[in-house]
Chains A and B, each alone.
Chain A
Amino acid sequence: MAEPAYTPNEIMTVAAARLMSNATVCFVGIGLPSAAANLARLTHAPDIVLIYESGTIGAKPEVLPLSIGDGELAEYADTVVSVPEIFRYWLQGGRVTVGFLGAAQIDRFANINTTVIGPYAKPKTRLPGAGGAPEIAAAAGEVFIVLRQNPRAFVDKLDFVTSAGHLTGGDSRAKSGARGKGPTVVITDLGVLKPDPVSKELTLVGLHPGVTAEQAKAATGWKLKVAERLEITTPPSAQELAVLRDLHARTAKAHGQQVGEG
């Protein structure tokens, strides 16, 4: 069999982009979510509304932002509002259909840690913190999560729950007062996980071509449940790959060119 013509990162980004539609109003996290959301906009979902927490609504960046408040996001946005407005009227007000997040760590109920590794009072590793995630995770209609799958990221127990997924499973989220459905899908470089309809425990439901369920289990810090039938991700099309690579190339060039200016 020929070597796949794409990297694990590329198929993860493409698979995540395919979750977006023209009707999506997406509150976008920086990094992998931003790459996937913009790939969707540049391919099958040109009318998608991208919202970044810096206050840009309908952002259409030519290159991927390095930071959530880059001028690129404001330049081509439908409108730019203040930070309190973006969180209060647009997120808390219930206008966001998808919250698209990354994470440092995730557990079996798709709770997320971006705060500390180790005890909070004396952390082994201090992570950046919550940012907008706790309220995105609670208020968006549903939440998509994208992150690389390995035992350091997919842990049996989080050191800190920054943002709620399905909490302790079952109906615990429904009882918590969170308005949105919470995480409905987790896309990794190995495959796709979805919460079980009843227990809400993340279950492997799909694999990218060439990946085995054993690999996914080995990359997970808890005993990963595997669906009876696993869907195999359709490989990235030539067009998806071309657009994604072009986006990354433009981004690298643009950020390189700014060097030393100002």
Chain B
Amino acid sequence: MSKIVSLKQAIAENLRDGDTVAMEGFTHLIPFAAGHEVIRQGRKRLTLIRMTPDIIYDQMIGVGCAERLVFSWGGNPGVGSLHRFRDAVERDWPVPLAIEEHSHADMAARYQAGASGLPFAVLRGYVGSDLPANNPRIKTVTCPFSGEVLAATPAINPDLTVIHAQKADRQGNVLIWGIVGIQKEAVLAAKRAVVTVEEIVDELDAPVNSCILPHWTVNAVCHVPGGAHPSYAHGYYGRDNAFCKAWDGIARERDGFRAWIDKHVLGSVDFAAFRRSIARG
């Protein structure tokens, strides 16, 4: 059976209310289209994991998809705060959002541990920081060889990881290049994985050391050109900085945000329709 399915089908089959989901990307290749599909399907009580939650998580938090956020840096890069995220943390709107906060080095190590079948990650982390005192999931472990005390945090094993990549072949092998971030580890740590891609090609034609996720590590591959917009896809399109700046105004007030979501995301059948909708304004 082909792994190449519609994004609607992929989300419907792989994400349930209450799941833990990681939609990863480090500025590059953020799976925006998939996030919108989660909003359209009205998923609730999700635990969202991401090193760098940005606009797409702001949207998902703002519509009330999430009850918990696990992260290490939350913001609209180069622009400022995430207003929906802050409204949820500071004023419980539209629903309370519990947060579990780590550092980047820790989150990366936790995904690696998850992908490696280990129960926890170990790192030289958080020296002198107040984070461990405010996050019971940051503990210490003593090295049995040297006696050094190191930070220990639980592995991340999401129910579902979603990423966006440049290419897949018809079998569903996925190729990703440029800033590859944490995507490989996030996919290999997850129980299920969905990948949206810019292109589906006959041959990946990739050098041997390329970052490839073999088809048998992913559950579904979806052809969604432009699916990382307004983030960028190296070799395909640049970051839409104008949208990222405009988001600051769109998300600032609850009513304006809801109206924007209703009109452009819920009012569109898929991501291509959404792109046409925002182009019309």
Contact = CB atoms under 8 A, between A and B. Distances in A.
The answer to whether A binds B is yes
Interface of A: 30, 53-56, 65-71, 73-74, 80, 82-84, 87-88, 91-92, 111, 115, 120, 122-126, 128-135, 137-139, 160-165, 167, 173, 176-179, 255-256, 258-262
A56 B241 contact: no
A159 B52 CA distance: 22
B203 to A, nearest CB: 23
A71 B179 contact: yes
A139 B123 CA distance: 11
Given A135-B123, A178-B128, A74 B179 contact: yes
Contact of B78 (A66, A134, A176, A259): A66
Given A123-B89, A135-B125, A165-B128, 20 more contacts: A30-B77, A54-B181, A66-B241, A67-B77, A70-B27, A70-B232, A71-B28, A73-B179, A80-B178, A82-B180, A87-B104, A92-B105, A126-B81, A128-B74, A129-B75, A130-B103, A161-B129, A162-B131, A163-B128, A177-B149
B103 A70 contact: no
Contacts of B104: 53, 83, 87, 130-132, 135
A164 B124 CA distance: 13
Contacts of A120: 130, 134
A122 B129 CA distance: 19
Interface string B154-188: 00000000000000000000000011111011000
Nearest to A55: B179
A132 B77 CA distance: 14
A122 to B, nearest CB: 8
Contacts of B182: 82-84
In terms of DSSP, what is the predominant structure of the interface of chain B? loop
A173 B127 CA distance: 9
A15 B211 CA distance: 40
Nearest to A73: B179
A129 B105 contact: no
11 contacts: A30-B78, A54-B28, A68-B77, A80-B180, A84-B182, A125-B90, A132-B105, A135-B125, A176-B128, A177-B124, A262-B237
